[in-house]
Structure 1
């Protein structure tokens, strides 16, 4: 085996010039046919067939390297049976033999030797043993895309310089075809990732809920990477990472699950290092993680200004191809955009929280400085009228009114005290529900009524409780932004019996607003249904509490 030197025009052996010249028109006709091909694989098949026909070879094959050059992305052949082609369609182990030489040293190779010996006889492993072998790299624009090789020249003759010249022309045509297709695919791929980043940014800037933005990140990551799922991880309160959003074709119960700090995924992501795995089943860092059942995985940290905000996980099904260098780079850029979205979401949430706190302080001041003082003055006026009243019934009635005013003043003072307390996250579900109702009262302009039934704090689990609070927040937000309601009733029933017979909790939010218009509030209703299904429950709509039956009632229920 020896590389073919790149000499000048070959000298014509005796009697060979006429044969070569006779093949030139056939080569030109074949090139015109190949150039008209629009589908890559059929074009490569015609190149193999043409190369075998023009050189008198029994077998021809064209191996297309993948983007990283570590394996074959495609294997096109002519003259090989399917069983041999299946065995031949990969790079030989250890990068040995003639075919591997074409990959590591992309220069034309010709070899002859005794049949039956793949290493000396010119036939790579799994290829039919022959005396003759001709291999030519498929190159275009300075890049090697694969290799075209031929074996088994008729009459046991070696491949000559004219065979090499024609095969080189065909290999160049194959390289141009592959290069053009890959340039087009790369441009389309980058355009899709850019569109996905724009969709995430748009979802956030539209002023939607943070959970909506996270779900958009997960869905776009899954779609763009061709993964089986998209998972967004955020730091959990007690350490580790919590699954904050999941996009998968089937229903999953992993939303809200916390991956403990000792898990290998957590250590890698929180360190700010990306992690690329070709097979999750063989990586010990993923032994106890939620992606153990997948194949290739891309785990990217969500970093912004040197701070790790969470992680983005994109697993592919077992047996699928690993992520390429381009996909890894595009995924990293998308993760950076998602981290920016999280930062903006945090800033927006802080602004909203600050606005609520400022309103609470203002309400507390107004209650103390205006309402209580006016009630106190009214009570003094009624007390004076009581003393001057001559009719006992009137005197007693005024006295009762004064007593009611005293009770009202005490209740308002209790409300003022509650408004002035720091808004720390409470432990009980009942308290969290009351907090959401209190916060919603500021934009609504009134406080929704509430009712609790059953052991709300003790029976409802943390995961169901967290999703119930998110559903309540979404429903109250919809009532403020879309329903224009003047009355809202909130009920939490921890003794509910679900349609499948299980015991659980039911959240009911009814309003007297305009109802749900055709095509309206689709995103919010989808989020409610998704949250309920993630914990094995359901969500549905009904008529509201307006006198004429108008308005909307949302029933959200899930098992404990």
Structure 2
């Protein structure tokens, strides 16, 4: 046991605290050393947040049940008011009933106790209690703990600085990885999904959401990271909630505990604790909002967390914008190459086949004329099989003609705007979503359902779903679906003045039906439309397959198009 007046032991204890780089370890060491230096039987230190809740609790030889109850509990004012900001509290008597009433019933019997505030950076960081010292506590013990507390405060500050440096390093590494990934050619959907996972990990959050523009004046959760948070996918965030406020102002916010929030607009978030909102913002425009969540009792997000998350989200928005521009440039280059191939096939290959066909036709005519000038005996003596040779020449001519037709079909396909003849339906839909970002100025929400369940981008499942779509939807129906999707998105971009669009494609194989719903938050259809060609085309494409096509105004503004066909 350490002696009370041992200056060397106090120095060793101070050096012991200074060697620790974790705040919790520092505080645990502080409690342990304080009890050992004063010969106290019991000890505990509580860190209280702004709501009066115990955010961190460390103890020395306290019963496990008591320690567990103290964690995440709410401390009453009586327990804190008895200790001043600087002066220690020495009570060599049992704990008053007023204070006992605010503590768990599992508190062991206390004969005497001493309380002391731990100040870090001139602010009370936590409250230390030592109890049950044989013979009671004296002012000398208080002085000793005060000096140890100064060493503990310095150690806490150093540990906090180290933690901030480590956190900053993780965020910077994540930002670099994110930028590299977005500019490496990954699809927008894959990039956003990876971004959410990356930010969740670097922020040490239990879950992370990416909220994007949805239908009406609302935003919705489109990407989720965290196994226990998948039920939040598709949850709508109202226009007067925190997410939209962050989107409008471009300023991120932290919440100490959503479960204790008085005006929570999204009920599904009421089961969670600390939260952080960070906008994806570039060139003054917010394209999405990241929401980081921790479970109740989890560590609160700090100002440094918010600053780094804000910076990373903005960098992600800019990198995503550059990636989209790069993708569009690649698409334009690919289309130019396809058009060049089409021109070469048309101008060179078809012309050469045409010339070859003419030569074969002339050869056939000459052969027939030559055979006609010979008598049958001469033909037989020469071993000429007139019928066989004539048939082979005609077959060669037909093959030349067929080859020319096939090349013409290839040219037409190469010149087709979608450029996706040999691509699966789901890939074609992803292609349309990527192209629509440029014309709309934002990312449309695409939801693909199979038998009423969303098609997830998971290895194995996605491939099976893709095969089902390709097998059940014929080539004609697939082309009509893509055409209607493209026309709907074009209308939203050109006429609706929409700021959000949701596209839902649903395949129901058992019912033999394929449906498309496109909803936007634009100005709606005009009362007196003078041109209906686009809508008429969609209706005709539905009628061909025995389907239906309807349009209706949304209650909050905008239009919903519904297109359904039979397979």
Q: What range describes the TM-score normalised by the shorter chain of this pair?
A: 0.5 to 0.7
Q: Structure 1 residue 36: deviation in Å?
A: 2.8
Q: Provide the rounded CA distance (Å) in 1 between the counterparts of 2:331 and 2:285.
A: 22
Name the count of aligned residue pairs. 424
Q: Structure 1 residue 188: deviation in Å?
A: 1.7
Contact 1:30 1:50 in 2 (8 A): no
Distance 1:382 1:432, change over 3 A: farther
Asked if residue 186 in structure 1 is aligned to residue 164 in structure 2, the reply is yes
Any unmatched runs of 5+ in structure 2?
Answer: 372-385, 432-447, 474-566
Asked if residue 385 in structure 1 is aligned to residue 346 in structure 2, the reply is no
Q: Which residue of 2 aligns with 1:416?
A: 411
- Secondary structure of the 1:314 match is strand
Q: Structure 1 residue 359: deviation in Å?
A: 1.0
- Secondary structure of the 1:217 match is helix
Q: Which residue of 2 aligns with 1:338?
A: 316
Contact 1:92 1:100 in 2 (8 A): no
Q: Which residue of 2 aligns with 1:49?
A: 35
Contact 1:132 1:152 in 2 (8 A): yes
Residue correspondence of structure 1 range 124-523 to structure 2 within 5 A: 125-126=102-103, 135-142=115-122, 144-149=124-129, 160=139, 162-235=140-213, 245-249=223-227, 258-259=234-235, 267-268=244-245, 270-271=247-248, 272=250, 274=252, 276-277=254-255, 278-279=257-258, 284-287=264-267, 294-390=272-368, 391=371, 393=387, 394-423=389-418, 463-464=454-455, 492-494=470-472
Q: Which residue of 1 aligns with 2:45?
A: 62
Contact 1:75 1:89 in 2 (8 A): yes
Asked if residue 106 in structure 1 is aligned to residue 85 in structure 2, the reply is yes
Q: Provide the rounded CA distance (Å) in 1 between the counterparts of 2:430 and 2:100.
A: 74
Q: Which residue of 2 aligns with 1:505?
A: none
- Secondary structure of the 1:382 match is helix
Q: Which of 16, 20, 28 in structure 2 is aligned with 1:36?
A: 16
Q: Structure 1 residue 408: deviation in Å?
A: 3.9
Q: Which residue of 1 aligns with 2:481?
A: none
Q: Provide the rounded CA distance (Å) in 1 between the counterparts of 2:403 and 2:337.
A: 22
Q: Provide the rounded CA distance (Å) in 2 between the counterparts of 1:98 and 1:460.
A: 59
Q: Which residue of 2 aligns with 1:74?
A: 56
- 1:392-431 C-alpha deviation (Å, 9 max, x unpaired): 64445434444444444344334434433433999x9966
Q: Provide the rounded CA distance (Å) in 2 between the counterparts of 1:139 and 1:470.
A: 56
Q: Structure 1 residue 172: deviation in Å?
A: 0.7
Distance 1:74 1:188, change over 3 A: same
Distance 1:429 1:280, change over 3 A: farther
Structure with higher RCO (Cα < 8 A, 6+ apart): 2
Q: Provide the rounded CA distance (Å) in 2 between the counterparts of 1:92 and 1:432.
A: 52
Q: Which residue of 2 aligns with 1:532?
A: none
Q: Structure 1 residue 49: deviation in Å?
A: 1.0
Contact 1:59 1:151 in 2 (8 A): yes
- Secondary structure of the 1:316 match is strand
What RMSD, in angstroms, separates the aligned Cα atoms of the two structures?
A: 5.1
Asked if residue 25 in structure 1 is aligned to residue 5 in structure 2, the reply is yes
Distance 1:419 1:172, change over 3 A: same
Q: Structure 1 residue 111: deviation in Å?
A: 7.6
- 1:475-534 C-alpha deviation (Å, 9 max, x unpaired): 9xxxxxxxxxxxxxx995449xxxxxxxxxxxxxxxxxxxxxxxxxxxxxxxxxxxxxxx
Q: Structure 1 residue 325: deviation in Å?
A: 3.0
Q: Structure 1 residue 178: deviation in Å?
A: 2.0
TM-score normalised per structure 1: 0.59
Contact 2:38 2:141 in 1 (8 A): no
Q: Structure 1 residue 269: deviation in Å?
A: 6.0
Contact 1:240 1:258 in 2 (8 A): no
Name which of structure 1's ranges 300-309 and 459-468 shifts more when overlaid on structure 2.
459-468
